[in-house]
Chains A and B, each alone.
Chain A
Amino acid sequence: DVKVTQSSRYLVKRTGEKVFLECVQDMDHENMFWYRQDPGLGLRLIYFSYDVKMKEKGDIPEGYSVSREKKERFSLILESASTNQTSMYLCASRSGGQGIETQYFGPGTRLLVL
């Protein structure tokens, strides 16, 4: 079974703090994704990565950055957390190339910014 793990299930941070959300997958997948999920807005793509050290902006990248130094690990960084970044953050991975390979999601990190 594919396993995607996220470093924290719940996180509380203060406005202005730098926040790191870590995601690790164990299936040697090339592609990794970060989403946020908010009531009424569904899942929205923040950033994705097709390979190590590669990153692409998703639909809502403002206020976020990412890092992919190793194939299995994809980090989401909030440089200066703000209250409107309070959300559920979901990481996903899939094998590479075009096509129909399934995205596998982690359990999510619920972030509260005070």
Chain B
Amino acid sequence: LAKTTQPISMDSYEGQEVNITCSHNNIATNDYITWYQQFPSQGPRFIIQGYKTKVTNEVASLFIPADRKSSTLSLPRVSLSDTAVYYCLVVLYNQGGKLIFGQGTELSVKP
């Protein structure tokens, strides 16, 4: 099964750009990469999803190189409210969109 590896924790300051890199060496041809955000005592919230190259929405950007063995979530100009756990996930296309959750990256944004 596709498994992801990401840093356990990261620190940043308000206004900085934060990049969280995830590796997924065993990703299959049809699988997608998706990122979720989770605040304490809340369910995960979808941030962004992509297959290759670059995807951007109003919240973040996702960069996926050609070999698709890694991806980078980019959060522009973070604020204190971006302090959360960020999960990188592979969406198993051929298993009904099953998600495999890893440990996530705990991002702490400081003033």
Contact = CB atoms under 8 A, between A and B. Distances in A.
Nearest to A43: B101
Contacts of B96: 31, 48, 50, 97-98
B99 interface: yes
Given A100-B91, A110-B41, A44 B97 contact: no
A107 B45 CA distance: 10
| Secondary structure of the A contact surface, majority rule | strand
B98 interface: yes
Nearest to B100: A45
A57 to B, nearest CB: 12
A8 B51 CA distance: 36
Contacts of A110: 41
A102 B49 contact: yes
B103 interface: yes
A110 B41 CA distance: 8
B97 A108 contact: no
A107 to B, nearest CB: 5
B42 interface: yes
A106 B36 CA distance: 13
B44 A90 contact: yes
B102 interface: yes
B97 A107 contact: no
Interface string B80-104: 0000000100010110111101111
A95 to B, nearest CB: 9
B99 A100 contact: no
Contacts of B42: 107-108
Contact of B32 (A45, A92, A100): A100
Interface of A: 4, 31, 35, 40, 42-45, 48, 50, 88, 90-92, 94, 97-108, 110
16 contacts: A31-B96, A40-B103, A42-B104, A44-B101, A88-B41, A97-B96, A98-B94, A99-B97, A100-B32, A100-B34, A100-B49, A102-B34, A102-B46, A103-B99, A108-B41, A108-B42
